[in-house]
């Protein structure tokens, strides 16, 4: 099956892609039948250069575009022109329209390196900003202070009972072990 897809040709961490026609079973960067354009995602806005006539030909003979190429073809209007071509529109008119759209488009700068966006710096100290955020949070939330106080008292009572039980058990164990340790020490001294 013939497929339209992207083939990476850019350097490390600098992707640039060719739009190629290839067999579906071939690897991404292996041999291809024909190159019909290129895509550079690093420019702002990204650059798509496409040979419209060859793209329409390959679509007409059954080449299926990959998802990413389909998005690029939709963006350039090629899929719309292909639908009109299948409906019976004149191919010369469609190609003239594609050429006119390409000429009317604003030129894209080949520049691919841009300065990092500037951070917004506030004159207020960070602690003051955090306090303001917390005040807004507490203003938005509705707290019933009595309900929270009752829950805290109940939790303290439960914890106290549990702690008493644990402490009572620990005291008993300490008394037992303390007595045994004392007996063992006195026996070793006597011997």
pLDDT tens digits for range 158-178: 566 777 777 777 766 656 555
* Dist CA 63 CA 2 (whole Å): 5
* pLDDT value at 113 more than 60: yes
**Number of residues in the chain:** 191
pLDDT tens digits for range 41-77: 998 888 899 999 999 999 999 999 999 999 999 999 9
Instruction: Say which residue the tokens 């006195």 belong to.
Output: 186
Predicted pLDDT of residue 73: 93
Q: How far is CA 110 from CA 46, 50, 76, 127, in A?
A: 9, 16, 19, 44
């Amino acid at each position: 099956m013939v497929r339209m897809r992207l083939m990476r040709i850019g350097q490390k961490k600098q992707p640039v892609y060719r739009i190629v026609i290839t067999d579906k079973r071939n690897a991404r960067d292996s041999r291809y039948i024909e190159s019909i354009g290129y895509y550079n995602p690093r420019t702002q806005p990204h650059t798509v250069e496409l040979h419209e006539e060859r793209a329409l030909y390959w679509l007409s003979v059954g080449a299926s575009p990959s998802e990413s190429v389909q998005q690029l073809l939709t963006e350039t209007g090629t899929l719309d022109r292909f639908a009109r071509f299948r409906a019976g529109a004149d191919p010369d008119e469609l190609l003239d329209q594609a050429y006119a759209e390409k000429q009317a488009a604003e030129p894209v700068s080949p520049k691919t390196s841009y300065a990092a966006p500037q951070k917004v710096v506030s004159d207020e100290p960070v602690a003051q900003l955090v306090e303001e955020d917390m005040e807004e949070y507490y203003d938005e939330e509705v707290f019933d202070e009595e309900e929270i106080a009752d829950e805290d008292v109940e939790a303290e009572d439960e914890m106290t009972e549990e702690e008493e039980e644990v402490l009572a058990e620990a005291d008993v164990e300490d008394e037992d072990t303390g007595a045994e340790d004392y007996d063992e020490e006195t026996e070793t001294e006597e011997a």
